[in-house]
Structure 1
Amino acid sequence: MCGIAGILGKNPNNSKLLQKMLEAQKHRGPDAMNVWEKDSVFLGHNRLSIIDLSTAANQPMESQCGNYCIVFNGEIYNYLELKDILKSDYYFTTTSDTEVLLAAYSKWKTKMVDKLNGMFSFAIWDKNDNKLFAARDRFGVKPFYFTFYEEQFFFTSEIKTLFQASIPKNKNLKVWANYYKYGTYGLPNETFYKAISQLKAGHYIEIRVNQPMNSDAVKQVKWYHFEQNIFEKPSLHKDDLMKTYSELLKDSVSLRFRADVPLGMNVSGGLDSSTLIRFVAQNLPSDETIESFTFYSNDPNYDELPWVYELIKTTPYPLNKVLLDYNDLPNLIEKVGYFQDEPYGGFPTIAYSLLFNEAQKKGIKVLLDGQGMDEAWAGYDYYQRENDAVIQGLNNSSPCQPNAITEDFLRHAEKENYETPFDNRLQNLQYRDLFYTKIPRALRFNDRISMMSSTELREPFLDYRLVELAFAQPKKLKFNEGQSKWLLRALVKESLGKQIALAPKRAVQTPQREWISNELKDYFTEKIILFSNLDFVNKKEVLRLWDTYCRGDQANSFYIWQWINTLMIK
């Protein structure tokens, strides 16, 4: 994992400007920072060394022929297999996956992306065609932000980096209004800032320097055709499905063990962590170990430590427990807000950030986790309900309080219409969560909190082969007598026991609702008063809702967190 940035344009100050931009995202790659420039093309890179730690693998990296130059963020897990295919056509001088990308582009051009198994966002300058080719991985694990400003094209790994180029911070009023009214975080191409866009997951763009530098000049091209892949996938018999999925999961974990630095894993007491640990054990030699990390809050109503202990005792792996202390939260709320750039999840996101900080202290650069299992296997409760689940998969009791916002501001809201490419409700809900709501939101949160601590996060369950296989199965194979993720439970039952395998799904939670109105009441009161004075806020209604909340009406705290989030995003 690293940071990338670039400028296409003729401003004589671009070289210095790019250096300034890279400094703003240095946390993404503290091991090296370099710039490459040619005429009106400027590419920059912050390196976090994971594979091939030598300086020869630094970026920006030029191809042996000199026709291509790349900046790349992420990992190509199948780079060794690709290298074996490409070695007869390309003379490799490093053992990095970056050079494999250069070789792949020189041979297959834009078709290269179909052959990649990994998490990535990259940009390649093609001197022969006088164009920039940029692509993002299938599910958008790695970020890619871009904008056109003063007849130049800018791209970066983080929004704050673009602000170093004086990009206007004007708010995207539609996205903000939808956030307050519906609890959404924008469409896959949007951000909370009017001038800044995202390259959508599974898409690429091509930009030529001799074309007009404005938003009309770029078209996002879809290269990952998930829907078609699902239509072509067969429905398997239970036994065949279990065998195939188990083999693929073992391979997915094995691929994500490829690194020249120490690895660790984040665990909770849930089924996803249990499955991850089982397959980690299959990939580790018996004489090797791996550090595991979990958080707790000293509140038995929320802590998963009893479940984690039950899980870890079946392994030889050391457990690192990190305390989420409410005394630390005022500082952490603002710190995490700075690194997120946009509204983010509440205390659970903050608690999760502590694991990466602890891993960094122990010299661990790569962590694995269990993201993506529920969306692929329809693991959330609402997937089994017949009534429509509202946005973000919450029930029909909205977590938002739009009355706290003025009608004038809420007029900017536009309820998002998500694609429904399948002929059944279940797969369309899964599709929404995978490409529009839950996964994009979680991946953005997780990328920023891992990069806060210069640590790479890898997600074996988001291997596209696993997601497609699970997603394509009919409802009867996703639920067994009403039980979700039955296949995963069967996989871990023998090695980890019934108590873990058959445990009900539990969301990773913290005492957010209670702490807000008790231990952190003074802090939140101060912030809410500030929020109530903003010109698009109904002050009386905000103060009334806060008073009601403190008196015990605490069905949810999401809307309170929205208000605080607003103040954190400068």
Structure 2
Amino acid sequence: MCGISGLIGHEDFELLLCAMVESQAHRGPDAEGVFYDKNFAALGHNRLSIIDLSPKSNQPFTDHSKRYYIVFNGEIYNYLELKASLRHDYNFITQSDTEVLLALYIKYGVSCLGKLNGMFSFAIWDTKKKKLFAARDRFGVKPFYYSKSQNRFVFSSEIKAIHKSGIKKTPNQDLWRRYFAFGSYGLPNETFWEGVCQLPAGHFLELNEGNLNITQWYDFASQVIKQPLVKNYTEAKEQYHDLLFDSVKLRFRADVPVGFNVSGGLDSSTLLALVNQSQVNSTKIEAFTFYTNDKRYDELSWVEQMISHYSNPLHKVLLKAIEVPELSKLISSFQDEPFGGIPTLAYSKVFKTARNKGVKVLLDGQGMDEQLAGYDYYTTNTKSTIQGVTKSPFNPKILSEDTSDGMGKDQYPSPFEDSLLNLQYRDLIYTKIPRALRFNDRVSMAYSTELREPFLDYRLVEFGCSLPIEFKIKDQQNKRILREVMTKYIPQSISYAPKRPLQTPQREWLEKELKQFVEEQIDKIKYSNYAHWFNLNEIDNTWSLYLKGDNDSSFHIWQLVNFSLLLN
């Protein structure tokens, strides 16, 4: 897991590239590298050493001919198998997955992407053809941002690096208003800043003589449709069981310590059990969880119950309300865009603790709800994108009439005949997974720690989504097949416990302990250059009602805080 950056054009990019690399130092503190193809291209890299820790694997990395240079962020989990398949085609000099990826591209070109099981964003510069090729993994675990002008193309792992290249930091009003009105975090190619785009997940780009072409290489819907229909439930459980174990096993490939995050739910319990069932000396693998000392929300008792069945060291990370103001400012500077709220802050402390304990890689249970219909609204047939709320968490009335004029909701494709599968598709490709991956990438990288999501292994997701509805939901119980597969590994009191959507006392803290902090952020908006975007009287009214108890949801308050923090 690293940071990549680059500039393409007929200029001297040395100073700009250095500024971009420096801005992403947190993503890779183990080594920095640059490559210049004078007056054509400049590539930069910040390395977090995970596989093959030797300097020979530093980047930018080149092949034997020195024609191709690659900067790569992520991990190719099946790199050993791919390396074996290339043994007659390439003379490897490192033990890294970076060299395997470059060798694979040299042999197969674009079609190499379909052979990769991993999380990745990378760029390859062809010094002979003066051509850039870049790609992003199937679900967009790893970020890739870019900006193109008439004479220059810039790319990086984080938006702040794009702004360091000279692109003015101007809020994208269209997306911000959709955020406030509908909770949108943007379509796959959008960002909250003008002039900055992102390469959508499952896409690659080619830049040749200033011409930019973007192509989709992974179509999730078509892959699900192509899956052989498994009608036998026993057979489906066996296949799902094997995929679960293999997905976790692959993600333990590392030359540094690996740990895992755990909460009190089924997905974390599954991860805990799989780690301990599949790894030698598993009891030495460290687990991490957060809590807030509020029994209404904390899952610590559930976590301790789960851990008691094994012997993993458990690190309990406490978030206090008094920490939130400064931590919000810090994490906002790493996120570059709005993030989910206080749970994200608590999660960030987990990565800080792991790094301080010498654990550079953590596993997480992200992705299971989307593939097996785990959210409440999957069974209630609502159009919601938020788990566990009874009324809209958004308040579009805080926008001025001029700002909200002509505004419409994001529209998502419905490629399947089945409505439930279309909801899963929306959450995987457009809403829940993209934003969660962005939140999580930034908080892990803020503390130079790699996060891996075994349940987002594309084989597992495709298979899970392709299963008949009755394999996923039975008697209003979500994730049926997972619960039954894991019955022999975890207690039924956990495997059949209901999903708990809230993990922190965000609603209460914003109203009480953080009241002054919230009001400071609201005042900042009122005196900003963007005050005219808002109906300021309605903001005051909304806050007043919240303090009087209208706090079923706190998201509309956190939105204001988020916006204010990002105005710096």
Same structural fold, with TM-score higher than 0.5 when normalized by the shorter chain: yes
Equivalent residue for 2:102? 102
Give 1:392 deviation, angstroms.
5.1
Task: Summarize the alignment of residues 544-555 of structure 1 with structure 2, pairs less than 5 Å apart.
Answer: 544-555=541-552
2:517 paired residue among 523, 542, 566: 523
Aligned to 1:556: 553
- 1:352-389 CA-to-partner distances (Å, cap 9, x unmatched) read 00100000100110000000000000100111123x41
Deviations 1:438-465 (A, max 9, x none): 0000000000000000000000000000
CA positional deviation for 1:552: 1.2
- Partner of 1:221: helix, strand, or coil? strand
Is 1:299 matched up with 2:299?
no
CA deviation profile, 1:171-208 (whole Å, cap 9, x unmatched): 22211110011011000000001200000000000001
Which one of 239, 246, 253 corresponds to residue 251 of structure 1? Answer: 246
SS in 2 for 1:535: helix
- Give 2:70's aligned residue: 70
Q: CA–CA distance in 2 between the matches of 1:313 and 1:508?
A: 23
2:532 partner SS: coil
Q: Is it true that 1:491 corresponds to 2:477 in the alignment? A: no
The correspondence for 1:327, drawn from 312, 319, 322, is 322
Say whether the 8 Å CA contact 2:283–2:312 is kept in structure 1.
no
Deviation at 1:508, TM superposition (A): 4.3
Q: Deviations over 1:119-154 (max 9, x none)?
A: 000001123433111000000000000001361100
| Structure-2 separation of matches of 1:394 and 1:4 | 38
Q: Quote how far apart the aligned CAs of 1:393 are.
A: 6.3
Q: Deviations over 1:293-312 (max 9, x none)?
A: 00111100000011001100
Q: Does the aligned pair in 1 maintain the 2:17–2:44 contact within 8 Å?
A: yes
Aligned partners of 1:19 and 1:502: how far apart in 2? 52
Q: Write the distance in 2 (CA, Å) between the matches of 1:420 and 1:539.
A: 38
The alpha-carbon deviation at position 65 of structure 1 amounts to 2.2
Q: Judge which range, 47-56 or 393-402, deviates more.
A: 393-402
Aligned equivalents of 1:68, 1:412: Cα separation in 2: 47
- 1:287 offset after TM fit, Å? 6.5
Alignment of 1:448-527 (within 5 A): 448-527=442-521
**Inter-partner Cα distance in structure 2 for 1:161 and 1:413:** 30
More divergent stretch after superposition (330-339 vs 536-545): 536-545
| 1:437 alignment partner, one of 408, 431, 435 | 431
- 2:144–2:156: 8 Å Cα contact kept in structure 1? yes
AA of the residue aligned to 1:523: F
Q: 1:287 to 1:359 in 2, by over 3 A?
A: closer
Residue 371 (structure 1) aligned to one of 341, 366, 375 = 366
CA-to-aligned-CA distance 1:413-432 (integer Å, 9 cap, x gap): 33111011001110111100
Is 2:511 the partner of 1:538? no
In structure 1, C-alpha distance between the alignment counterparts of 2:145 and 2:223, rounded to whole Å: 27
Distance 1:180 1:481 in 2: 36
- Contact persistence 1:297–1:324 (CA under 8 A): yes
Aligned equivalent of 1:356: 351
Distance in 2 of aligned mates of 1:485 and 1:554: 30
Partner Cα separation in structure 2 for residue 52 and residue 515 of structure 1: 45
1: CA distance, partners of 2:503 / 2:8:
44
Q: Distance in 2 between matches of 1:37 and 1:394?
A: 51
SS in 2 for 1:427: helix
Distance in structure 1 (CA, Å) of the matches to 2:456 and 2:282: 28
Pairwise CA distance, 1:234: 2.3
- Residue by residue, what CA displacement relative to the aligned partner does 1:483-503 show, whole Å, maximum 9, x if unpaired? 111221122222221111111
**Further displaced range: 468-477 or 533-542:** 533-542
The runs of 5 or more residues in structure 2 that have no matched partner are none
**Deviation at 1:410?**
1.4
**Cα distance in 2, alignment partners of residues 63 and 546 from structure 1:** 59
Q: What's the secondary structure of 2:489's corresponding residue?
A: helix
Q: How many residues are treated as equivalent by the alignment?
A: 562
Q: Which residue number corresponds to residue 309 of structure 1?
A: 304
Which of 393, 415, 423 lines up with 2:417 in the alignment? Answer: 423
**In 1, distance between residues paired with 2:282 and 2:437?**
33
- Assess if the C-alpha contact under 8 Å between 1:517 and 1:550 holds in 2: yes
Q: Distance in 2 between matches of 1:310 and 1:395?
A: 27
Q: Distance in 2 between matches of 1:394 and 1:410?
A: 27
Give the counterpart letter for 2:199 in structure 1. Answer: L
Q: Which residue of 2 aligns with 1:223?
A: 217
Aligned CA distance change for structure 1 residues 127 and 530 (closer, same or farther; 3 Å): closer
Paired residue type of 2:88:
S
Structure 1 residue 276: deviation in Å?
Answer: 0.6
Pairing 1:63-462 to 2, within 5 Å after superposition? 63-149=63-149, 151-208=151-208, 210-211=209-210, 217-236=211-230, 237-286=232-281, 288-386=283-381, 388-391=382-385, 397-411=391-405, 413-462=407-456
Answer yes or no: is the 8 Å Cα contact 1:71–1:124 preserved in 2: yes
SS in 2 for 1:279: helix
Indicate conservation of the 8 Å contact 1:145/1:159, yes or no.
yes
SS in 2 for 1:42: strand
Q: Which amino acid aligns with 1:108?
A: Y
Aligned residues of 2:299 and 2:503 also touching (Cα < 8 A): no
The aligned counterpart of 1:32 is 31
Does 2:1 correspond to 1:4?
Answer: no
Counterpart contact for 1:529–1:543, Cα < 8 Å: no
Check 1:400–1:229 CA distance in 2 against 1; reply closer, same or farther (3 A cut): same
Cα separation, 2, equivalents of 1:245 and 1:117: 17
SS in 1 for 2:433: helix
The aligned amino acid for 1:95 is Q
Deviations 1:304-340 (A, max 9, x none): 0110011000111000000010011110111111000
User: Could you give the per-residue CA deviations for residues 506-546 of structure 1, whole angstroms, max 9, x where no partner exists?
Assistant: 12420000011111112212222222442222121111111
Q: Is 480-489 or 242-251 further displaced after alignment?
A: 480-489
Secondary structure of the residue that 1:218 maps to in structure 2? strand
Amino acid at match of 2:15: K
- Cα distance in 2 between the residues matched to 1:85 and 1:288: 34
Deviations 1:217-257, CA, capped at 9 Å, x for gaps: 32320101212211111232111111111111111111100
The 8 Å contact of residues 404 and 537 in structure 1, kept in 2 or not, is answered as yes
SS, match of residue 201 in structure 2: coil
Q: Give, in whole Å, the separation in 1 of the partners of 2:502 and 2:48.
A: 29
Counterpart in 2 of 1:21? 20
Q: Which shows bigger deviation, 284-293 or 164-173?
A: 284-293
Unaligned runs of at least 5 residues, structure 1:
212-216
TM-score with structure 1 length normalisation? 0.97
- Alpha-carbon spacing, 1:284–1:508, altered in 2? closer, same or farther (3 Å): farther
CA contact (8 A) 2:377 2:384 kept: no
Comparing 287-296 with 392-401, which one deviates more in the overlay? 392-401
Q: Which amino acid aligns with 2:340?
A: G
**1:19 and 1:337, CA in 2 relative to 1: closer, same or farther beyond 3 A?**
same
Does the CA contact (< 8 Å) of 2:5 and 2:20 recur in 1?
yes
SS of the residue aligned with 1:496? Answer: coil
Distance 1:416 1:545 in 2: 25
Runs of 4+ residues deviating >6 angstroms: 393-396
Question: What CA distance in whole angstroms lies between the structure 2 residues aligned with 1:508 and 1:490?
Answer: 25
